[in-house]
Amino acid sequence: MRYVDEFRDRVKADVLVKEIERLLAHMGRDQDRPLQIMEVCGGHTHTIFRYGVEGMLPKSIELVHGPGCPVCVLPMGRVDDCVAIAERAEVIFTTFGDAMRVPGSRKSLLQAKADGCDVRMVYSPMDALALARKNPTREVVFFGIGFETTMPSTALTVLQAEREGIKNFSIFCNHITIVPTIKAILDSPDLRLDGFLGPGHVSMVIGDAPYEFIARYYKKPMVIAGFEPLDILQSLWMLLKQIDEGRCEIENQYARVAPAGGNAVALQAVAQVYELREFFEWRGLGSIDHSGVKVREAYAGFDAERRFAVPNARIADPSSCQCGEVLKGVIKPWQCKVFGRACTPETPLGALMVSSEGACAAYYQYGGIKRGRDEAKASAA
């Protein structure tokens, strides 16, 4: 496939891996004190596992799989709210596929569907709007979830619904924003990270300026990275070069797609439809100020939260979950006490086990469980 295969070239990958090895050696990094780089975005985590990128890297660099999977960080209480809305007889509840399996305190959307709720999988909010047009006697609710990547398409759909005067469509807004989240990670007292791979898709919308504070105030470098395996390697190499040269900047490896200034149309729609929430609860990370958005008063008619009073209960994560520590890179997924035992993709306790982009599920699916055991054995010996 054009525009894809060239980003999976093995020969180029080998060259980059050699360069990364050389830089790490030059920095004097060893396995005991590996360099820790966080990829913030779940899409990156997925690529890393899907192509076995981690296994190609020397042991003196460690990838930490960050909080960037919106499905993974969705708190249980919000899933309960979804189920409560879906249980209303008049509602057709629409959602992206991977949000179906996230456990709530009572059930997941998949279970709700099995119990007779009209829950449907869609690929975009526009599909949900089309359903609303087709079913004028029903209430179609779209489960808006995701970072700045998916936020504009939900906003544009609301604007479209308004233009058409559609009254039976609303969104249950759970969109979150990446910048406060990175800040929360940087403020965490047990922080060990040396640098970040930034989410390329998010920068398609917001550009790279919102990340400036990371370099300026926290003195950590970041490279905004694309989603092909070569993108990841090249971004890692760029990051290492910065560290080696003592630089600390926000660089953009994904400039072929993500312009420095972001996307004005998308930003305009986002600003028009949403405003920041005071607080938003994250699974594993607790409440982060201004990290979520809600629908503005002017569009209240399209806000499921206002139209259907939701219970909005706060439900604490199970105490055995160590998702927060995994998200911050303090422990590796397999070091969690319940990984692969009480917590598996069939019976996820924590959110990181739910989506294939979640660090725990990715380790479990793509062989981390074995690697975890091996490393545990090696360190015990």
Partner 1 sequence: MNMISFPPRRPRGKVHVPTVTLAHGGGGKAMKDLIDDVFVAAFDNPLLAPLDDQARIDLLDLAQYGDRLAFTTDSFVVDPLVFPGGDIGKLAVCGTVNDLAVGGALPLYLSCAVIIEEGVSIDLLRQVATSMAATAREAGVKIVTGDTKVVNKGACDRMFITTTGVGVVAAGVELGAHRARPGDAVLVNGLLGDHGAAILGARGDMALQSPIESDCAPLQGLIESLLKSAPNTRFMRDPTRGGVATVLNEIAEAAQIAIEIDESATPLRNEVRGFCEILGLDPLYLANEGKIVAIVPPDEAEPAVEAMRAHPLGRQAAIIGTVVAGEPGRVTMRTIFGGRRIVDMLVGEQLPRIC
SS3 117: coil
What is the spatial distance between Cα 292 and Cα 276, in angstroms, rounded to a whole number?
Answer: 6
Applying the rule CB under 8 A, the residues between 13 and 32 that interact with partner 1 are 13-14
Cα–Cα distance, 108 to 95 (Å, whole number) = 12
Q: How far is CA 182 from CA 80, 193, 285, 293, 343, in A?
A: 26, 11, 11, 16, 26
The binder of 125, among partner 1, ligand SF4, none, by C-beta within 5 to 8 A per type, is none
The option from partner 1, ligand SF4, none interacting with 339 (CB < 5 to 8 A, set by class) reads ligand SF4
Using CB under 6 A as the binding rule, the residues of this chain from 327 to 346 that contact ligand SF4 are 333, 336, 338-339, 343
Among 39, 81, 98, 139, binds partner 1 (CB under 8 A): 98
Q: Which of the residues 346 through 365 are near ligand SF4 (CB under 6 A)?
A: 349-350, 352-353, 360
Residue 367 partner contact from partner 1, ligand SF4, none using kind-dependent CB cut-offs of 5 to 8 Å: partner 1
Q: Cβ of residue 355: shortest distance to ligand SF4, in angstroms?
A: 10
Give dist(CA 101, CA 373) in Å, integer. Answer: 27
- 138 interacts with partner 1 by CB under 8 A: no
Nearer to partner 1 among residue 335 and residue 344 (C-beta) = 344
**How do 279-282 and 286-289 pair as beta strands?**
antiparallel
Residues 150 and 98 sit within 8 Å (Cβ to Cβ): no
- Compute the least distance from the CB of residue 337 to ligand SF4, in Å: 7
Task: Give Cα 375 to chain centroid, integer Å.
Answer: 27
169 binds, among partner 1, ligand SF4, none (CB under 5 to 8 A by kind): none
The CA–CA distances, whole Å, from 125 to 154, 202, 265, 275 equal: 6, 18, 17, 19
* Least CB distance to partner 1 at residue 329 (A): 21
Q: Indicate whether 146 belongs to the interface with partner 1 (CB under 8 A).
A: yes
Residue 207: which residues within 8 A CB-CB, separation 6 or more?
258, 259, 260, 261, 262
Residues of the shown chain interacting with ligand SF4 in the complex, contacts defined by CB under 6 A: 321-323, 326, 333, 336, 338-339, 343, 349-350, 352-353, 360
